[in-house]
Chain A
């Protein structure tokens, strides 16, 4: 029974402490039955483990601690604004970026309190100043449309004029924020975004509902995509939106009319996913495109290309590729 003896002594202390994987536990037990040396070593180590005996009579946390802890927690993060369901995806995206900023620009870090201009802003396009300025600029467009005060009012009309109005507005905001610190830029972004959330009344007029759903999903989309850019930059986890369904519905409303000549069936997997026939269920699809729901949204968001998107196609390949190309062409972030 000396099989595997070499590997047993090294794991004996972990075994005595009861922190082996189950398979390893069985292996050690089997070995100990036949190995007197390891048995006596285990006894020796066990003398150092009186702690288990203390497990009886473990004091329990008092019931009041739960309420106290949850209360202290809600004070530690910007509290959520109650919004109409159509804006839930934006509330989530704002909370997501806010949490990420808690992580990557701690208050005690001097870089957080240096003027953006002095810190050599705009290294990467989507670094902290770039993302904050861009969201301040583009959220501002919706503010103007809804009559919510804009944080940095711009003379550049949204979607008008030559070139890239969003890009020019972003550059304008970035230039005006040069004297501000990152912490101040963050506060400006947050305050304006919260203003938009406060404007998202629970029950909008029926005539307004569709327009508002698109407008808030658009802001959610952009906020989520750029939070993802920052997460990549800082090596943090890519978080999956819990209201991905709203982002997908928004994307598909725009995509539907673009594939009217070559209908496709779309199968998006994972939470928030589903099955659709585009442009609508009344058509016979020529092809089926299957992809993870997040992956497909990244295509809409310009973070995947026709070449890099992980999607399976079946049926008429040109029709499927045309639909993917149409989705990619919607990206404007």
Chain B
């Protein structure tokens, strides 16, 4: 792995705040875009950006330069946090729906921050949401973070062939879903893990 990132890691570990500022300036656009695309929510994306960089600062040893680039690690972190946010949001929405039906949900209308309301984005997100988690992760990291499949494999600790296969099975299913959003689970692609 490249020496410059090891040196940057040395500085982060030794509490050099200017190293964190450098990392922020270099990767904030990417981290923000991953968070934004997965969550579709501006406020959530900003919170995720903050969490990701604070985590790097607080737990610098969690990043292992020998296991891939800082860029890849930050994207993976942003992706996971964003997926967690979406899940929490979905369960909140279910609670809200329930509250509406039971009559005490008057505050609901103002709660939604649908900044990225483009139909297309919603369609992509809802199609992605239907993929099995491992396929979704492989494709989203490629889509949004543009991390090579080799690095995704390295970071996740799985063989390259598995990542390629997840991407292929996932994309096929996504293609079907995008043509026909009603075709939930179509293509039988949910179990393909081998090559």
B9, B13, B20, B175: the one within 8 Å of A73 (CB): B20
Can you list 21 A-B contacts with CB-CB less than 8 angstroms, sorted by A residue number?
A11-B149, A14-B148, A14-B149, A18-B142, A21-B150, A44-B172, A45-B168, A48-B174, A50-B120, A50-B124, A54-B121, A59-B32, A66-B21, A73-B53, A74-B17, A77-B57, A77-B58, A96-B13, A99-B12, A231-B61, A239-B13
Range class of the B interface residue count: 35 or more
In the bound assembly, the distance between CA atoms of A236 and B65 in angstroms comes to 11
> Could you tell me how many residues of chain A have their Cβ less than 8 Å away from some Cβ of chain B?
57
Contacts A45-B172, A50-B178 given; indicate if A99 touches B13 (C-beta within 8 A): yes
Besides A93-B14, A241-B10, 13 more A-B contacts (Cβ < 8 Å) are A13-B168, A17-B149, A48-B177, A59-B45, A60-B32, A61-B28, A61-B45, A65-B46, A69-B24, A95-B13, A99-B59, A102-B58, A237-B9
The answer, yes or no, to whether B11 is at the interface (CB within 8 Å) is: yes
Interface residues of chain A, those whose CB is within 8 Å of chain B, are: 10-14, 16-21, 44-54, 58-62, 65-66, 68-70, 72-74, 76-77, 80, 91-93, 95-96, 98-100, 102-104, 231, 236-237, 239-242, 271
Cross-chain contact A62 with B171 (CB below 8 angstroms):
no
Contact with A along B21-39 (1 / 0, CB 8 A): 1001100110011001100
Closest 8 CB pairs of A and B: A95-B15, A48-B174, A48-B175, A13-B168, A13-B167, A47-B175, A17-B142, A103-B61
Contact with A along B42-69 (1 / 0, CB 8 A): 1001100110011001111110111000
Interface residues of chain B, those whose CB is within 8 Å of chain A, are: 6-7, 9-17, 20-21, 24-25, 28-29, 32-33, 36-37, 42, 45-46, 49-50, 53-54, 57-62, 64-66, 115-116, 118, 120-121, 123-124, 139, 142-144, 146-150, 152, 161, 163-165, 167-168, 170-179, 195
Cross-chain contact A72 with B121 (CB below 8 angstroms):
no
Cross-chain contact B46 with A61 (CB below 8 angstroms):
yes
In the bound assembly, the distance between CA atoms of A93 and B15 in angstroms comes to 9
